Chains A and B, each alone.
Chain A
Amino acid sequence: MAKMIDRASGLGAQPSPEFEEQRTRWERRWASRAARRREPGSGATDRTISDLPLKPVYGPEDVAHLDLARDLGFPGEFPYTRGIHSGMYRDRLWTMRQFSGFGNAKQTNERYHFLLSQGQTGLSVAFDMPTLMGYDSDARQARGEVGRCGVAIDSMRDMQVLFDGIDLGQITTSMTINGPAAIALAEYVATAESKGIPRAKLGGTLQADILKEYIAQKEWIFPPRPHVRIIVDMMKFCTAEMPRWNTISISGYHIREAGSTAVQELAFTLADGFAYVEAAMKAGMDVDTFAPRLSFFFNSHIDFFEEICKFRAARRIYARRMRDKYGAKNPQSWTLRFHTQTAGCSATAQQPENNIVRVAYEAMAGVLGGTQSLHTNSMDEVLALPTEKNVEIALRTQQVLAYETNVTNVIDPLGGSYFVEALTDEMEKQAEDYFKRIEEYGGVIEAIEAGFFQHEIADASYSYQRSLESKDRIIVGVNAFEKEEERQEIDLLKIGEEIERGQARAVQEVRGSRDSAKVETALAVLKRACADETRNVMPPLIDSVNALATEGEIVEAMVGVFGRYRETAIF
């Protein structure tokens, strides 16, 4: 064993003659086997799901160029390849945070109480499409969408109902909203303060990652530049007034779901993160005042080792750039903290029970990759929003992982694996190549405007789909091991049309019951703040939601200043 470790500082060993003999014998045997053709449809492949080449076995020669101190270090030590905390799950398990929201605020509030009673440790709000796109529930554009993908929140009133009976000073809340993120934050602050909880005590995360909306998820409102300015305003506001709040959750999840490869997810997400860092620094903020509260959100797909390597590479790239390129001095500014969600796009509508198994593997990859929090998808999410039963199975999957498998006891147990270290390094290199290409466009916004990311993702997703058609890749129940008679036999959650009608009525009642002069004044002040880059939009936003201006009204006021974004459709 001692022989395997180079006396210098490398991970690769100086191979002994005996080892070289063993290698030669293995290579000979492999060559004679490889000459035989693999059985078609065996599922074996010599590339990762993202098309990275795989060797049949890895050895010290694959990691000889790596330096133990420079590239691996220890958990809680730069460059954090092995984890951001010195004790990792020995000290504290990840947060089990199931994303949920559907129908109206009252229904979702009931689901939250259920999840908290079952041992969930944080809340995560899913909003419906009209809320995410800045429309009130009675808007023409909202037709058919109210309460379907998440909960409808039209005004601060709904936010109050959503968190009824939940102590916002104790719980942490994650809100997945981007275009109108600043409005949701204002509503959350106003709701807490209406219950007597000061904003400084609020803990949680706002997604507020608008760049990936243009790249992948497509839930934008304004053009990129004013949107990024609003985000910088939020960063300034939170730095000054909400010390426990994570301002942005820079997200690769949606990039992956849109069909990217793992390397693209890694590279585009980190590029977005660095773009926010640069924007905030350009606005005069010291990097160490805001960077400790940036966090990330990644997908955990089904290619087990590739995902683990992606998480490890992400930490290392981030640490290096934050320290060496942006000059951050606080070690907390170097650490990439992330939430993980299992891959919705890996779930299948066919034989949906199999998704439970997929989710378990993906969750384990997230944990072996060192995630700080985790959402496990429910088996029926490919068909509809999940039922309570299926959400419970998903949560139990995390609990089994945490308490039964023992994978939490050793930190970064795959660290030092020839394969894992080599693939981690390869992914870092490929991400760096993407950073160069993005820089050639002039930056992330310019690359978005040129359609660069959108083209890269469309190419990757099309080639992936082709590999399924040709059965180069196998998905159980979809292009192999199909079962004829199976038809969805599981119960699905149905969102009735009465939700839409009820929510439309409720928002109209809010408009009818408030002091409209106060609303007009608040919106006028907000518009002036939008038009003046030296002012911060957050205080007038909080005033507007307190006056019970609806989300749609606030967005319209802001669109009046910033305009709406239109995408050039490409495929």
Chain B
Amino acid sequence: MPSARPLRVIVAKAGLDGHDRGAKVIARALRDAGMEVIYTGLFQAPEQIVQTAIQEDADGVGLSILSGAHMTLFPDVLEQLKAQGAEDIVFFGGGTIPADDAAELKRLGVREIFTPGAPLSQIIEFVQRECGKRRELVG
């Protein structure tokens, strides 16, 4: 049985990267798909993002990076999730991320990386499925 409370997802921007078009489109799309979405706004430190996720009891965190700093900031968020014992939160992301880097980030524990041109429907389906699983486990 799916729980009555809608899935809750954080959409985050980290570092100095101000490209927020994609993050905002994803935030709206997830909201329109029935989820509760919290958009962090720009320039968040990895620890702030993870704190927000824990405080809001989020099922997932999506991080958007288009500045090229993905190999620093994704691992930083992963580390913070581990440090806070919040690895159950589904951590995914997207941006201008070359295929090799995306593969490496997934190996490190990022659940999925969506690159430019990924259909919204695919992202929504991923978030619903994975965050839904997490909700069942955690309750």
Contact = CB atoms under 8 A, between A and B. Distances in A.
Given A149-B68, A461-B24, A478-B117, A567 B42 contact: yes
Interface stretch (A139-147, A231-239, A389-397, A511-519): A139-147
B84 to A, nearest CB: 19
A465 interface: yes
A177 to B, nearest CB: 13
A128 to B, nearest CB: 9
Interface stretch (A111-119, A129-137, A371-379, A398-406): A129-137
A217 B37 CA distance: 23
Contacts of A37: none
Contact of A129 (B16, B23, B24, B41): B16
B136 to A, nearest CB: 28
A382 interface: yes
A130 B16 contact: yes
Interface string A557-571: 000000000011111
30 contacts: A129-B15, A129-B67, A129-B69, A132-B16, A141-B15, A141-B16, A141-B43, A143-B76, A144-B71, A144-B73, A145-B15, A213-B18, A218-B19, A219-B18, A349-B96, A382-B96, A383-B96, A384-B98, A458-B24, A458-B28, A461-B25, A462-B24, A462-B25, A462-B29, A465-B25, A465-B29, A466-B120, A569-B40, A569-B41, A571-B37
B72 interface: yes
A504 interface: no
A521 interface: no
Interface string A251-274: 000000111000000000000000
A501 B19 CA distance: 25
Nearest to B115: A349
Interface residues of A, number: 47
Given A349-B117, A571-B27, A135 B21 contact: no
Contact of A479 (B21, B69, B119): B119
A167 interface: no
Interface of B: 11, 15-21, 23-25, 27-29, 37, 39-43, 67-69, 71-73, 76, 96, 98-99, 115-117, 119-121
A571 B16 contact: no
A172 interface: no
Contacts of B69: 129, 143-145, 148
Question: Which of B20, B27, B29, B43 has the most A CB atoms < 10 Å from its CB?
Answer: B20
A218 to B, nearest CB: 3
Contact of A469 (B16, B115, B116, B119): B119
A218 B42 contact: yes
Contacts of B67: 129, 145, 148-149
A514 B98 CA distance: 41
B39 A571 contact: yes
B117 A383 contact: no
Interface SS of A by simple majority: loop
A384 B96 contact: yes
Contacts of A465: 25, 29, 120
Contacts of B115: 349
A259 B21 contact: yes
B104 to A, nearest CB: 13
B115 to A, nearest CB: 6
Contacts of B15: 129, 141, 143-145
Contacts of B121: 469
Nearest to A568: B41
Nearest to A489: B99
Interface string A441-482: 000000000000000001001100110110000010111000
A132 B68 CA distance: 15
Nearest to A217: B18
Contact of A461 (B21, B37, B42, B73): B21
A330 to B, nearest CB: 36
A143 B98 contact: no
Given A130-B16, A382-B96, A487-B99, A144 B72 contact: yes
A462 B120 CA distance: 11
A348 interface: yes
A524 interface: no
A350 interface: yes
Contacts of A570: 39
